């Protein structure tokens, strides 16, 4: 993915609505299935399969939604995979594994929040013209225009077509200036 495409993808996040719900459910179901598949082979209270999905949730979802994924993961590990006996929830294994998982998840979500905050000023850097100014970019022979302070770029067309339209626009501007000069 090119830098323009990556920046455009980042601006589109976090997901909302049904896509966010789908990602959140998937981020709990997939690692739960992995954990259930290795439950007989792995002993203990490991949350390891959940950690990459917490990272993906933190990137793709709002922080509150990513936190929901973490809490749902703890609820599933506490009740579904490990059995619903009350003495399991108070066991040293469950308590320590859950504490480490919650801490690692908090650090992961916090790191994504800080990264977003660090990237945000870079997107508007050179934005001295915050109320105007157009930036043109070229990606895969497609010309895109974006405005300072605006999130989404607009596709203008292929490079050949945009160059022709721009040359025509400049010629019209020059003709207008010449006609205006003749009137004066």
Residues 6 or more apart whose Cβ sits within 8 Å of residue 59: 13, 112
**pLDDT digit string (tens) for 114-136?**
988 887 666 555 444 455 678 88
Contact 98, 106 (CB under 8 A): no
**Spatial distance between the Cα atoms of 40 and 167, rounded to a whole number of angstroms:** 70
Q: In percent, how much of the chain has pLDDT > 90?
A: 39
So what's the pLDDT on residue 171?
A: 93
Q: Residue 4 pLDDT more than 50?
A: yes
Structure tokens at 154: 């607009």
pLDDT of amino acid 108: 96
Kindly tell me if the per-residue pLDDT of 78 is higher than 90: no
Q: CA gyration radius for the chain?
A: 26
Predicted TM-score (pTM) of this structure:
0.61
């Amino acid at each position: 993915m090119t830098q323009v495409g990556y920046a455009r993808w980042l601006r589109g996040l976090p997901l909302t609505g049904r896509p966010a719900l789908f990602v959140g459910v998937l981020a709990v179901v997939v690692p739960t299935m992995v954990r259930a598949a290795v439950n007989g082979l792995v002993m203990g209270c490991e949350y390891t399969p959940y950690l990459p999905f917490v990272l993906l949730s933190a990137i793709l979802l709002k922080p509150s939604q990513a936190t929901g994924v973490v809490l749902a993961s703890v609820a599933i590990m506490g009740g579904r995979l490990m059995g619903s006996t009350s003495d399991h929830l108070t066991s040293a294994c469950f308590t320590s594994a859950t504490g480490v998982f919650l801490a690692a998840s908090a650090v992961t979500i916090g790191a994504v929040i800080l990264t977003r905050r660090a990237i945000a000023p870079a997107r508007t850097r050179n934005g001295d013209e915050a109320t105007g100014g157009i930036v043109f970019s070229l990606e895969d022979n497609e010309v895109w225009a974006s405005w300072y302070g605006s999130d989404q770029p607009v596709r203008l067309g292929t490079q050949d077509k945009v160059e022709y339209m721009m040359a025509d626009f400049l010629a019209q501007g020059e003709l207008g200036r010449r006609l205006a000069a003749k009137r004066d």
